[in-house]
Amino acid sequence: MFRVLAVCLAAVFVHLALPATAAGPDARPVRVLTSFPPQFLEPYRRAFEERHPGSTIEFVQRKTTAAVAGIVGGRQRADVFWASAPDAFEILKAAGRLARLKPRPTGAPERIAGYPVNDPDGAYLGFALSGYGFVYNPDYLAEKGLPVPRAWSDLAAPIYAGHIGISAPSRSGTMHLMVEAILQVYGWERGWGLWSEIGGNLATVTARSFGVSAGVAGGRFGVGPSIDFLANQDSLPRGSTAFALPEETLFVPASIAVLRDADNREGAERFVDLVLSPEGQAILLEPAIARLPISPAAYPAGETAPDSPFRREGLFAHGLFDPRLSAARYELVNIIFDEMITFRRAELARLWRSVRTVEAALVRRGDAEAARLVGEARDALTRPPVGADEAMDLERWRTLERVRRGVPAPEPQARLEARIKAAIDDNLRRAARAVAEAAARLDPRAAGGGASGAEALPP
């Protein structure tokens, strides 16, 4: 009797000593770190838990930039990373944080709109297509007499001054991708020149990606760069927003990855299976989600999505987006954008307004020296604080960190940031001085007209 009891007790103690994973993947939730909104996530929770009774999903919502910093810094544990921005996955891959995945059969081509669907090394898999373009308020644009922008360069046109809202790339993975895409397609210096001109047209810089769609819907401004699914959320008033894909459309896959140190690897793989299954692809077409499935078979027979990426060339038709390049200089781009545009939005707007005023006056009255001076002002406003050659010193930029406001940066990074600030300050001073001198040549009364003097020029 006592011998039988002892054997039973020993079995109980052995069972209790086993690690939790020995009980199988259902013993703990699958922890998914994501930037997607609740209405996107809930259909996948229901589908997963119906497929695997006893299993649960725990969604942890973070901005992409914060999620990546948390994983790399070891402060954020999860089983799955699920987001739209491909460069975020490249940062995690370079840091050795992603497990290798086998591709799932989806029927998708290897590339769509010039971009690979899956990571060639198997670190992450594409599950949906994200179209990047412009969210706009039809009534706002009609009231102001503004056309719908059709190209990225349209956002730099003077007619949009004060009518554009964006989010900062340091706070939005979506915006970071758009900034980096322009830098790669236009080139480092021309790309920053375009972003500076767009910066001169800004009404505001929002704290998050969805803030652009919400601001457009509320009539705070008329248009802004956005991703397709954020422009058509159920939470926005019906008819308050529309979405336009520009002529040079940017389509890239939204992806999913399993983290290398996942506590529930088997459950994570099951979740990836669901997302890439016919059922998971069909969920993307639900009105509350309205994403473009990666699988052509997910679309109804005889139909493809409007402006389907399966038949468009895209922004990278003549050269591929390089996510490794983007990942290597990720924080450098964030620092420059914030110092050049986010933190100087009002000053940038004043200076660009002055430049455009002088340029308009030169059409009416030619003056070679004034034209040279306003060209000098334009050059100063569009010059990045880090040159194109230096920007390619990628090993140097990999060490930069995302630093929260109020927290001191590491000393080498603090020195770099101080240098960038000083270069931008110098560029703005030079621009202000040159445009003021140009304005004074066209009308002596402009010599005392404030920071630039151009506001005193007659219309």
57-92 pLDDT tens trace: 999 999 898 999 999 999 999 999 999 888 899 999
410-429 pLDDT tens trace: 999 999 999 999 999 999 99
Q: What pLDDT is attached to residue 158?
A: 97
What is the arithmetic mean of pLDDT over 20-39? Answer: 75
**4 vs 221, residue with greater confidence:** 221
Q: Which of 78, 119, 126, 79 is nearest to 100 (CA)?
A: 119
Among the residue ranges 15-29, 240-254, 291-305, the one predicted with the least confidence is 15-29
Over 118-172, what HEC string results?
A: CCCCCCCEEEEEEEEEEEECHHHHHHHCCCCCCCHHHHHCHHHCCCEEEECCCCC
**356 vs 240, residue with greater confidence:** 356
Q: What pLDDT is attached to residue 311?
A: 56
Please report, rounded to a whole number, the percentage of residues in the chain having pLDDT higher than 90: 64
Burial class (CB within 10 angstroms; exposed 0-12, middle 13-18, buried 19+) of 448: exposed
436-454 pLDDT tens trace: 999 999 986 655 555 555 6
Core vs surface per residue 389-410: b (16+ CB within 10 A) or e: eebeeeeebbebebbeeeeebe
**28 vs 307, residue with greater confidence:** 28
- Is the pLDDT at 9 greater than 50? The verdict is no
312-371 pLDDT tens trace: 555 555 556 788 899 899 999 999 999 999 999 999 999 999 999 999 999 988 899 999
Average pLDDT, the chain: 87
Q: What pLDDT is attached to residue 5?
A: 39
Ranges of beta strands (E only) in 261-332 are 292-293
Q: Which of 342, 327, 339 is nearest to 416 (CA)?
A: 339
CB neighbourhood size of 156 (10 A): 21
Q: What pLDDT is attached to residue 131?
A: 83
Q: Which one is the CATH code of 20-128+254-309: 3.20.20.80, 3.30.530.20, 3.40.50.410, 3.40.190.10?
A: 3.40.190.10
292-318 pLDDT tens trace: 899 988 988 766 554 556 655 555 555
**371 vs 2, residue with greater confidence:** 371
Confidence band (pLDDT; 50, 70, 90) for 37? confident
Among the residue ranges 10-19, 156-165, 351-360, the one predicted with the least confidence is 10-19
Q: Strands 80-83 and 30-34: what pairing?
A: parallel
3-state secondary structure of 100: coil
What is the arithmetic mean of pLDDT over 160-166? Answer: 98
Task: Measure Cα distances from 187 to 136, 244, 250, 372, 418 in Å.
Answer: 27, 24, 16, 24, 25
The domain segmentation of the chain, as residue ranges, is: 20-128+254-309, 344-459
